[in-house]
Amino acid sequence: MRARPILCLIFVLCIVMFYPVTAAEQSAALLETNASTDQISPEKPDQPLSTVGNYNATLRVYVIEKLTYRWWDNLSNWYRNAMLSFAIDSAISIPLEGTASITATWNGNDHTYTNDDGTGSYTFGNIVESNIMVVAALFNADPITSYSDDPPGSPFNAYLIDASAAADMGETGSDNTSGGYTHTVLLEKATRVGCSNCPTTAAVLNYLEELGTYNFHYVSMVYQPNPAARSQVYSYNLAAVPTCYIDGGHGVAIGGSYESDYYTDPMDAAGHREVADVDLEVSLTWLGNATIQVDVEIANHQFYNSAPDIPATPAGPATGVSGSSYEFTASTTDLDGHQIYYRWDWGDGEISDWVGPYASGATGAASHAFPAGDFDVKVQAKDDYGDGDESDWSTVSSISLLQRGEVNGDGNINVGDAVYLINYVFKSGETPEPLDRGDANCDLSVNVGDAVWVINYVFKSGSAPGCY
């Protein structure tokens, strides 16, 4: 995949010797890997926004030790920003323009982990007030497909992050749009105790965090031996360590690299994508005895635009004459009260431009000159919100167009039509039905000029009757 066969064998042996992964934990052993070309993007670039009214997501609040003395990499460096557990991990649903206030307490004495070799059982009861922070993140409920290995390897459902916020003890933090981002990006680094390639990734992420140029938070998910971190990174179908998951899997960076853009490029891509319009704020309070209180405020400012209803069947004439212009009308309503544009498919290969805007419920109109024949006219609506959401096409209204200049009803334009017109003009003969049918030169009256037009067409290869 990305490592030479001998290195792969050595890495697998190291994992088996020091940190065995049981079948219950993962179906295959994870490879430690250096970065090469292993940034992975999901199948779809942006999170699809739900079309229902509520904002649906999973709220996760990570309890973090800024510098942990529990877990280390293979260079005996203590991990920074190490996740201990979730203070909150629950689904939420917030109505349009609604808010939610969520409070939770978390006691380190209630959470344990055990070394992978089965020795020792530990709690987080010894946490220190000044060394604890939290990161809150909203994972959108609509998944896309992403990969923890070179696609199509190790696929998983990625629930992308719409907002994240961090707070130190006694403080409040908010999601923000600094750096031109649409939100604060969250990077989850999957790692483990003794990881040989993880120091490289840690060094770069620590540098980027201290630099302060990029609008992001990062969490070290030490999945061995921490069960809470393990559950989260295994939901990503983890294939190798270290692996960085940017915004829930919008970007995936596998392996350790000293090149900062290996991480900042997918961070930028995630930070500039469209996200739900929500506010997120988190506060952290120390209650004593290894207990914290987390308060989260969420506001849903999203507006999910609805397309107009399908317009009614167009109203217009059922018959006519080729070349004459006929008006059709239609109306519909927009659930959101937006103004409406209409466009018409005339059935003869032509579709009109958008006509409007009209108020919701008002009647729209357009006119069209048809050639001879039978045509089905239909209409479509769109609103004026953003680029406009379009309705489906209406049912059709049919119109039948007679050939201008063909007045005697034999289906062809010939000398008989010229005789018919001469009889009508000079001898009070039968009136063409409808009268427009006899207006061969389209001058809005039926006279000898129309008979001359037909004669020129039949005998002198003149222009066919019509409106030019």
Q: What is the average per-residue pLDDT within 283-295? A: 98
Q: Residue 214's closest CA among 278, 268, 137, 266?
A: 268
**Residues 237, 381: one domain?**
no
Q: How confident is the model at residue 53 (pLDDT cuts 50, 70, 90)?
A: low
**One domain, residues 296 and 342:** no
pLDDT at 54: 85
Give CA–CA dist 4/46, Å, rounded. 34
Task: Report yes or no on whether pTM surpasses 0.85.
Answer: no
Alpha carbons within 13 angstroms on the beta-carbon side of residue 417 total 31
Lowest mean pLDDT across 45-49, 302-306, 358-362 = 45-49
Residue at 51 is within a domain: yes
**Residue 416's Cα: distance from chain center in Å?**
65
- The answer, yes or no, to whether residue 22 has pLDDT greater than 50, is no
- Which pLDDT score is estimated for 44? 38
Asked which of 355, 380, 402 is the last residue of a domain, the reply is: 402
- Per the structure, the complete domain to which residue 447 belongs is given by 415-460
Q: Which of 354, 378, 402 is where one domain is finished?
A: 402
Query: If pLDDT is split at 50, 70 and 90, which confidence band does 117 have?
Result: low
- Percent of the chain exceeding pLDDT 70 equals 88
Note whether residue 131 is domain-resident.
Answer: yes
239 and 350 within one domain = no
Kindly state whether residue 78 falls inside one of the protein's structural domains: yes
Query: Quick one: pLDDT at residue 48?
Result: 41
Q: Is residue 97 part of a domain?
A: yes
The CATH number covering residue 370 comes to: 2.60.40.10
> Rg of the chain over CA atoms, in angstroms?
35
What is the count of structural domains for the chain? 3
Within-domain flag for 308: no
At residue 43, does pLDDT exceed 60? Answer: no
Q: Are 196 and 182 in contact (CB under 8 A)?
A: no
Cα(125)–Cα(111) distance, integer angstroms: 8
3-class DSSP state of 92: strand
Same domain, 281 and 157: yes
Shared-domain flag, residues 431 and 383: no
Q: Give CA torsion, residues 16, 17, 22, 25, to 10 deg.
A: -80
Q: Are residues 41 and 79 in the same domain?
A: yes
Whether residue 35 is found in the same domain as residue 102: yes
Question: Same domain, yes or no, for 124 and 253?
Answer: yes
Q: Is 38:241 a contact under the CB 8 Å cutoff?
A: no
Do 342 and 429 have their domain in common? no
Burial class (CB in 10 A: 0-12, 13-18, 19+), 297: middle
pLDDT at 1: 39
d(CA 439, CA 122): 98
224 in a domain, yes or no? yes
Q: Domain end: 237, 270, 300, which one?
A: 300
The answer on 452 and 351 residing in a single domain is no
Whether residue 306 lies inside any domain: the answer is no
Give per-residue pLDDT as tens, 178-221: 999 999 999 999 999 989 889 999 999 999 999 999 999 999 99
What integer best gives the mean pLDDT of the chain? 86
- Give whichever of 115-129, 245-259, 453-467 has the largest mean pLDDT: 245-259
Same-domain pairing of 24 and 155: yes
In a domain, 261, yes or no: yes
Question: Are 420 and 397 members of one domain?
Answer: no
Q: Please, are residues 312 and 114 in contact by the beta-carbon 8 Å criterion?
A: no
